[in-house]
Amino acid sequence: MARSARKYVYFFGNGKADGSGKMKDLLGGKGAGLANMTNLKIPVPAGFTITTEACNSYFENRKKYPPGMWEQVLVNLKKVETSMGMKFGDAKNPLLVSVRSGSKFSMPGMMDTILNLGLNDTTLKALADKAGDRFAFDTYRRLITMFGSTAMGINRQLFEKALERMKEERGVRLDTDLTTDDLRKLVGTFKGIYEKETGKGFPADPLQQLKLAINAVFSSWFSDRAVTYRKLNNIAHDLGTACNVQAMVFGNMGENSGTGVGFTRDPSTGQKKFFAEYLTNAQGEDVVAGIRTPLHIDELKKAQPAVYRELETIYRKLETHYKDMLDIEFTVQAGRLYMLQTRVGKRTAAASLKIAIDMVQEKLIDKKTAVMRIDPVQLEWLMHPSFDPKAKVQVIGKGLPASPGAAVGKVVFLAEDAEAWAARGEKVVLVRTETSPEDIGGMHAAQGILTARGGMTSHAAVVARGMGKCCVAGCTALHIDEGTKVMTLGSRVLKEGDFITLNGTSGEVILGQVPLVPADLSGDFHLILKWADEIRELGVRANADTPADARMAIKFGAEGIGLVRTEHMFFEGDRVQAVREMILADDTEGRKKALAKILPMQREDFIGIFEVMNGLPVTIRLLDPPLHEFLPKTREELEDIARDLGVPFQKLQARNKMLHEFNPMLGHRGCRLGITYPEIFEMQVQAIMEAACHVVKRKVKAIPEIMIPLIADVNELRVMREMTVRIAEEVQKRTKVRVRYEVGTMIEIARAALLAHEIAPQADFYSFGTNDLTQTTYGLSRDDAGRFLPYYVEKGIFEHDPFITIDQKGVGMLMRMAIDSSRKIKKGMKMGICGEQVDPQSVEFCYEIGLTYVSGSPFRLPVARLAAAQATLKRKMKKGMSKASV
């Protein structure tokens, strides 16, 4: 028995559809919506959907249809003819069709549509006899324009310019002002353009038109704009598009006809009101192209109240059915309403929150559904200043959108200048080739940061996100001359004091000052996060280095601090001088003398953090970076410091040279520094424990978690743990205060992950330093990789930038191995991450592999909280489906 051909075509019409609203993978969003509306007995012109499988097969077979597809098209075309009482290509009662794209995910305007297919000189006469000459020629010229530009690749402007010339000659402004004779002549002109550009006449065979139109819709899946849109929105390239062939209904048949687009609620605010526009005597492309100014939907209510009441009934029925805000398209033909599309509507971040919460209160959805509805990334948009949408901007460059938000200020090139200018009330943007920890003061003072080098997790990016500062990093076209204090970006030369604006969400650098709208976190924002917290099982902590950071962390829902970077404290005030004294000391006693000056400063820092985090855990990483980062780079700076410290310049220069490393990221840092110079880590542990004992005496609960960085071997941790416990016990004995503390380590080197089972007995907890673990796994420098990683992602070599989203195959495998092997030894061992990969995908992965918590910059916590709740719900849904299938 012969095997039947795969079903590639699904019919809808007469109140019944082959498909359903649940078949978006196969029918695309538009096709699934048409099938759903048909099954709901909503008036939809008959048609059929060619599946996404057919599209993918078309490309796999070198642009040939899969076996049986065209035959199924012809069979279903007959069904459409029967349903509509017309015949495709008929000389007396011709059926015309539209051919539209429709992928699983909405990609508005990215792919192609052709209307009015089936017209030729013969069917034109029949259409004219039925609906009038003017309508017929208007419809024909639209077909030639859309078919020529879409299916044949003719420059659409050739048709548009001919149309504009005709209107100028006739002295009219609108297309609708042209006469029948004008349109007849225009059809002739358009045919001439078509023939000149293609070398052949406009196809008279309706089936040939249909085949070429289907090819054009399939091919538009890989158009440049569609590919770019998918990259920007993380939509897979292998989904393909469906193709919807549907009987035409005409909004351009007179004053009792028209076309409209609407949303069942306001897509900007989320307000529960019908938000729609309508054009009389027009086709859908007129609304999209903005050829004529649409009218408020109330005008339809006045002109055709019965049609409006039917539309109102339908949109409410659809919203109740979908339980979401919808985008709808409709046409009125000679007083009769037809629905052409329904899909979940695009909306602003604020509208997303309001609609979800309102629908819970209306008992349309439950809290879990509301939490799943919100895109976590949208929360981040709400938290940063945004541009006035009415402002006109001049983009002069583009880099990586390292930290979202908006910043306006005067250009400064040095961190100290940023501090000085800000102190006198100036708003500045710090422009650097790259930033270093020493720039922290200037970064804090600036409105935003722009760098020529560095990636999404470079120093500038990480610190900016922690501060909630806008940052554009890796703007490779940017050239800076610090000597003359001038920057060149493209053809623009800007000097210190000139205004620029940064868009940290898009990575754009804009000339001049763009008005900003401050973030306004409504009650909706906090309510959604409250619901998320009730659901999630994964803990959420913050990376915070100061009491001010800790307060911000609490504000955004942190359940503790997952990373205190103690090196950032060394750059504040006069303490950097003491650090430099310590580095320049000739012996241990000299270092201890300098460290004694730093001890009370560090202790006060920790006291402030413990007081803010009362009762919540605080993970404190001991000194991580190499010592040379605390020394200046230029001769002038070295001379200044030698003078301030009262040491010979040559000695300082020699010490600076001795500390230089060819690859400091893999050099003398972290625990290696603590082992060779134990007095540094001893001072830090003493400061932590004295601070903890101090606040405990004042009835504040301190929970310090002391973290040893950059462990590669268990013996390193053993030495560091013994020292930490010894100092901690000495402090508690001296102060007569007991404090619950833990000693753990960062897993940030591949060897440590592979041998985690050996390290586990010496560690109370792990925190995966995913930034360095990614660097050591890939053999990449995160600050240099920004030069080529965007290219890798664009070309599909890497699916994601591994410094933004955790690499689940490589880095993720090491994390799984470390977790599984360690918990066999220590069941339930506490483990988290403290890198910057707390995007929704990474948070979900961390939950799946069993981490206890994730930790990120305070401003990223709302995203992590929501993503963690969604990860919990997804797991429960999967379990529910598994049980159902058993």
Among all residues, which ones are annotated catalytic?
Answer: 459, 834
Q: Which of 204, 520, 512 is nearest to 354 (CA)?
A: 520
Tell me the two tokens of residue 581: 């004294």
- Extract the tokens encoding 314: 């339908």
Question: How far is the C-alpha of 832 from the C-alpha of 562, rounded, in Å?
Answer: 8
Instruction: Answer for the pair 843, 864: CB distance below 8 angstroms, yes or no.
Output: yes
Residue 823 is given by DSSP the state: H
Q: Which two structure tokens, joined as six digits, stand for 275?
A: 């938000």
Distance CA 499, CA 563 (A): 35
Of how many residues is the chain composed? 886
- Residue 472's nearest CA partner among 496, 453, 446 is 453
Query: Rounded to whole angstroms, how far apart are CA atoms 243 and 97?
Result: 12
Question: Closest Cα to residue 846, out of 466, 616, 541, 555?
Answer: 541
Residue with tokens 């060819």: 662
Alpha-carbon gap, residue 380 to 359, rounded angstroms: 22
Do strands 241-247 and 47-50 pair parallel, antiparallel, or not at all (unpaired)? Answer: antiparallel
* Residue 667: exposure state from Cβ atoms within 10 A (0-12, 13-18, ≥19): middle
DSSP state of 7: P
Cβ atoms of 475 and 456 closer than 8 Å: no
Distance CA 12, CA 513 (A): 53
**Maximum Cα–Cα distance for the chain, whole Å?**
105
Print burial letters for 496-515: b (CB count within 10 Å at least 16), e (below 16): beebbbbbbbbbbbbbeebe
Contact in structure between 405 and 518 (CB atoms under 8 Å): no
CA–CA distances in Å: residue 655 to residues 288, 624, 834: 68, 20, 33
d(CA 364, CA 264): 14
How far CA 483 is from CA of 480, 495, 496, in Å, comes to 9, 11, 11
Residues 226/110, Cβ–Cβ less than 8 Å:
yes
